[in-house]
């Protein structure tokens, strides 16, 4: 699906402080339909703070947060969710012992019948969960199997498919590949690309891994100590440049120079 120019969400000069700690300063960001926006940064860079603001966990202190061009200030994730902004955290909010289909509808169960005859509509939930997963290329043999028996990648995909099914237009993925091996990461990355390209979702992909980001990203932002260090579309970036910024940029070059200098001195002795 082609991306449109009008952003679904836009941050303009957004900042956040915790007491006297400035966690985020002057962040500009536009998330568009059908695009994957990658946000990279080291520990403490401000990634969690940024996604918490976007997902409505808490409000920003400075700047503007616009959704469909309207300024917003969320006081709960529910408000963000109502506008189609959903976050999938590393914990996934899945119950390992419950079947896949039950997890898919956790907290939003479909029911049928009235009064005393009101009960879960198991057939409908089973079919809808199966359809959504199938659409995303995940064919589980048995939707009755507990989610805990799925692979790490499959669990991520179930959590993402659930958010898409419940109407996410912007999907915030918090380090979805951090705990996964190569094959499982591949599964999740393929799914991320598919959610954006085929379903037109605006994806915000938080990661430490520039290789993973570069495989699926359309736009890249590197945060460092609460500020935007790099902000570029794919067309203006190479993987090497992204890795350089992610690794600490000029600071790393200095270190390399220093270490090379030292090793040369050692060899010379």
Q: Under the criterion CB under 6 A, does residue 266 sit at the interface with ligand ATP?
A: no
Residue 27: its H or E element: strand 21-32
* Contact assessment for residue 30 and residue 7, using Cβ atoms and an 8 Å cutoff: yes
Q: What are phi and psi of 166, to 5 degrees?
A: -90, 20
> Token pair 């939707």 is at which residue?
143
Residue 18 or 257: which CB sits closer to ligand ATP? Answer: 18
Could you give the CA distance from residue 170 to residue 196 in angstroms, rounded to a whole number?
9
Least distance in angstroms from the C-beta of 54 to ligand ATP: 12
CB of 38 to ligand ATP, least distance (A): 14
| CA 20/CA 51 separation, integer angstroms | 20
Q: In this structure, are residues 247 and 211 in contact, taking their beta carbons and an 8 Å threshold?
A: no
Name the segment binding ligand ATP (CB under 6 A); options: 16-24, 53-61, 84-92, 183-191: 16-24
Residue nearer to ligand ATP on the CB measure, 45 or 228: 45
Binding of residue 194 to ligand ATP (CB under 6 A) = no
The region of 15-23, 164-172, 183-191, 233-241 touching ligand ATP under the rule CB under 6 A is 15-23
Minimum distance between the CB of residue 165 and ligand ATP, rounded to whole angstroms?
A: 27
Helix (H) or strand (E) holding 26: strand 21-32
Cβ closest to ligand ATP, residue 34 vs residue 41: 41
Q: Is the Cβ of residue 23 or residue 158 nearer to ligand ATP in the bound state?
A: 23
Could you give the 3-state DSSP secondary structure of residue 238?
coil
Q: Minimum distance between the CB of residue 256 and ligand ATP, rounded to whole angstroms? A: 24
Total chain residues near ligand ATP (CB under 6 A): 11
- Give which of 180, 172, 191, 243 is closest to 214, Cα–Cα: 243
Region 35-94 residues binding ligand ATP, contact defined as CB under 6 A: 41, 43-49
Q: Which residue in 1, 4, 6, 18 binds ligand ATP (CB under 6 A)?
A: 18
Nearer to ligand ATP, 138 or 222 (CB): 222
Write down the least CB distance from residue 262 to ligand ATP, Å: 30
The only residue of 2, 21, 182, 183 in contact with ligand ATP, by rule CB under 6 A: 21
Tell the smallest beta-carbon distance from residue 51 to ligand ATP (Å): 8
User: What is the distance between the alpha carbons of residues 158 and 261, in angstroms, rounded to a whole number?
Assistant: 50
Backbone CA torsion sign across 108, 114, 119, 123? negative
> Binding to ligand ATP by residue 23, rule CB under 6 A?
yes
Q: Rounded distance, CA 66 to CA 57, Å?
A: 16
Find, among 99, 97, 77, the residue nearest to 89 by Cα. Answer: 77
> Where in 153-182 is the site for ligand ATP (CB under 6 A)?
none
**How far, rounded to the nearest angstrom, does the alpha carbon of residue 78 sit from its chain's CA centroid?**
17
- Using CB under 6 A, list all residues that contact ligand ATP: 18, 21, 23, 41, 43-49
């Amino acid at each position: 699906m082609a991306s449109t120019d009008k952003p679904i969400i836009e941050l303009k000069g957004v900042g956040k402080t915790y007491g006297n700690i400035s966690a985020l300063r002057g962040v500009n960001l536009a998330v568009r339909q059908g695009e994957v926006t990658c946000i990279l940064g080291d520990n403490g860079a401000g990634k969690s703070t940024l996604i918490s603001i976007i997902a409505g966990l808490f409000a920003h202190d400075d700047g503007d947060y616009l959704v469909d061009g309207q300024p917003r200030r969320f006081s709960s994730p529910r408000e963000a969710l109502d506008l189609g902004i959903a976050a999938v955290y590393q914990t996934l909010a899945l119950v390992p012992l419950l079947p896949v289909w039950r997890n898919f509808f956790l907290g939003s169960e479909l029911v049928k019948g009235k009064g005393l005859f009101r009960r879960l509509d198991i057939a409908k939930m089973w079919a809808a969960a199966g359809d959504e997963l199938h659409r995303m290329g995940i064919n589980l043999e048995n939707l009755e199997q507990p989610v805990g028996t799925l692979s790490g990648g499959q669990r991520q995909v179930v959590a993402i498919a659930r958010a898409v099914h419940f109407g996410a237009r912007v999907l915030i993925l918090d380090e979805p590949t951090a705990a996964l091996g190569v094959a499982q990461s591949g599964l999740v990355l393929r799914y991320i690309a598919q959610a954006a390209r085929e379903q037109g979702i605006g994806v915000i992909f938080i990661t430490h891994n520039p290789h993973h980001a570069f495989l699926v990203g359309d736009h890249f932002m590197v945060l460092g100590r609460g500020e935007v260090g790099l902000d570029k579309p794919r067309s203006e970036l190479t993987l090497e440049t992204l890795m350089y910024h992610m690794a600490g940029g000029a600071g790393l070059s200095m270190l390399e120079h220093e270490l090379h200098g030292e090793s040369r001195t050692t060899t010379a002795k």
